[in-house]
Amino acid sequence: MRFLTALAARALIFLSFTSQVAMAGTISLNNGDVIHGELQAVDKKQVIWKSDNLGKLSIPKEKVAHFTSTAVIPEVRTPNGTAHNCSLNLEEGVQASCADGLVETQPLATLVAIEPPPAFSGDSRFSFNRKDGNTDSSDLDFIVNAQWLRDQFRHQVELLAESETSDGDVVDERYEGNYQLNYDFNQRWFSYTRLGYEKDRFNAIDEQYELGAGFGQRFNLDNQMNFDMQLGAAYLISHHPEDGSDNDLAGRWGFKMNWPVPGS
């Protein structure tokens, strides 16, 4: 019995501790509402707050009275400059403790804080279409994208499969796989190494292997929109159905835009 009592006491202590961790931050609104959670970002007009129970909320700045948060924001912009890796608290003004040092108290209206990227993100898509009639045909498409972070390294994987048949015969078939390892020097600059494979049975190039490397720059705007621009070189090994193989050195550039939907 004493063992069970001690075990129950430890469980209560553990639950109390975990509940405190889950509710480390609070935001208070002008109408008196208090919401537990953590700060995610601050754009020109809104405070992005992740609630323990309500999910991600977009709250107009003029409705926020004060907040406390333990979240580390990768980039904070004020009229006086930019600071990195900051913890923010709002009382009379926003107090920021950053890796660059303590930032002077700033009014919330003029402060912008960039949301940190998620530790893992990805999506998958699958579609199958079939048509019956004078000609029976079907289309199959499968796409997987994933990205995960580990310290200063960002891993990206892309997989694609496409197939089309007509009256039982395969008329189009394509497979593609890419892996890219990014190393972030800071919040803006990064380098990358890329491996790629593509197979297309009905193209002039049956198979192609890619080894590439280069540099990239990331732009974060005040409305949480961000851009990735990449420039580098790639070494290509291509196999042709009838003409054998050849090797080429090519330039490579890339552009990617990400704009989170407000409230998502």
Tens digit of pLDDT at every position of the chain (264 positions) = 443 344 444 544 444 444 444 457 999 999 999 999 999 999 989 999 999 889 989 999 999 999 999 999 988 988 888 888 899 999 989 999 998 877 788 899 999 998 877 889 899 999 999 998 888 899 999 999 999 998 889 999 999 999 999 988 888 999 999 999 999 998 889 999 999 999 998 887 889 999 999 999 998 877 668 889 999 999 999 998 777 889 999 999 999 888 766 545
The DSSP code sequence of 159-172 is EEEEEEEETTEEEE
Query: Could you give the CA distance from residue 109 to residue 45 in angstroms, rounded to a whole number?
Result: 8
Long-range contacts made by residues 77-83, C-beta under 8 angstroms, separation at least 24?
Answer: 77/111, 77/112, 77/113, 77/114, 77/222, 78/103, 78/106, 78/110, 78/111, 78/112, 79/106, 79/110, 80/104, 80/106
Q: What is the pTM of this model?
A: 0.69
Across 132-243, the runs of DSSP E, i.e. the strands, are 137-150, 153-166, 169-184, 189-200, 207-220, 226-240
Query: Could you give the CA distance from residue 95 to residue 187 in angstroms, rounded to a whole number?
Result: 21
| The one-letter amino acid at 112 | V
Q: How many helices (H) and strands (E) does the chain have?
A: 1, 18
